[in-house]
């Protein structure tokens, strides 16, 4: 059974981090918003970093489960040989970008983007995303058999960066601010862009004459 105080703290932190950013939001402000005392955050999460990890895990774990379900289906369709890069990008990015089209979850996309960009704790990221990342690195190597495992990790990093920025700012900052954001169009453009990068020649080879 979920502890109501713990859930209030998570809900308050989620709203405030999404609206104001991680660095600009103090624990004291979160506790005031949640109607809890400072001792509660240490009791439930141990520290500010523990709160951030719990918040990320609460929202990221369902997304990761969906990613792996989609990747399982792709691998079943392609038991041997090359996997289309477009399928890999869709499996990774679609579960996250779906939040942009849901008014009740849109703030969560900003939250995830802010936490990843502003508070990158490598140990926490590994605990939350490590298993999913390793599965996708293997898939990227099947989409681009000419690259090494190290380069597959770099390309996953680039894909994550593109996706996180899109979650945080789905509309280009140079666009007309009155333009509407069509989530499906954004997703398809992201897939076209990132899949070309995943399957590109090795960096050393692309610079050869």
Domain boundaries, the chain: 1-46, 56-206
* 1-46 CATH, one of 1.10.1370.40, 1.10.10.60, 1.10.3720.10, 3.40.50.10140: 1.10.10.60
Its pTM stands at: 0.83
CB atoms under 10 Å from CB of 208, counted, come to: 7
Position 209 scores a pLDDT of 45
Position 126 scores a pLDDT of 86
H helix count then E strand count, the chain = 10, 0
Position 135 scores a pLDDT of 97
* Cα separation, 140 vs 158, whole angstroms: 12
* 56-206 CATH, one of 3.30.70.60, 1.10.357.10, 3.30.1490.100, 3.10.129.10: 1.10.357.10
Position 192 scores a pLDDT of 96
pLDDT tens, per residue, the chain with 209 residues: 578 899 999 999 988 888 888 888 899 999 999 999 999 999 999 988 899 889 888 888 999 999 999 999 999 999 988 999 999 999 999 998 887 766 666 677 777 777 777 766 678 888 889 999 999 999 999 999 999 999 999 999 999 989 888 887 766 655 555 556 688 888 999 999 999 999 999 876 655 54
């Amino acid at each position: 059974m979920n502890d109501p105080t713990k859930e209030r703290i998570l809900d308050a932190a989620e709203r405030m981090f999404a609206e104001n950013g991680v660095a600009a939001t103090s624990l004291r402000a979160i506790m005031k918003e949640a109607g809890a005392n400072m001792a509660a955050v240490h009791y439930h999460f141990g520290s500010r970093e523990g709160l951030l990890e719990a918040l990320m895990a609460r929202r990221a774990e369902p997304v990761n489960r969906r990613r792996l379900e989609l990747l399982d289906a792709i691998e079943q369709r392609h038991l041997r040989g090359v996997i289309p890069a477009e399928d890999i990008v869709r499996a990774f990015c679609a579960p996250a970008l779906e939040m942009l089209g849901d008014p009740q979850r849109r703030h969560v996309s900003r939250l995830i983007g802010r936490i990843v960009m502003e508070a990158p704790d490598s140990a926490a990221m590994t605990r939350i995303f490590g298993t999913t990342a390793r599965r996708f690195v293997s898939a990227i190597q099947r989409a681009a058999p000419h690259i090494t495992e190290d380069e597959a990790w770099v390309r996953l990093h680039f894909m994550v960066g593109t996706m996180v920025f899109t979650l945080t700012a789905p509309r280009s900052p140079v666009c007309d601010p009155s333009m509407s954001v069509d989530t499906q169009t954004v997703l398809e453009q992201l897939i076209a862009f990132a899949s070309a990068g995943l399957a590109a020649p090795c960096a050393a080879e692309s610079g050869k004459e």
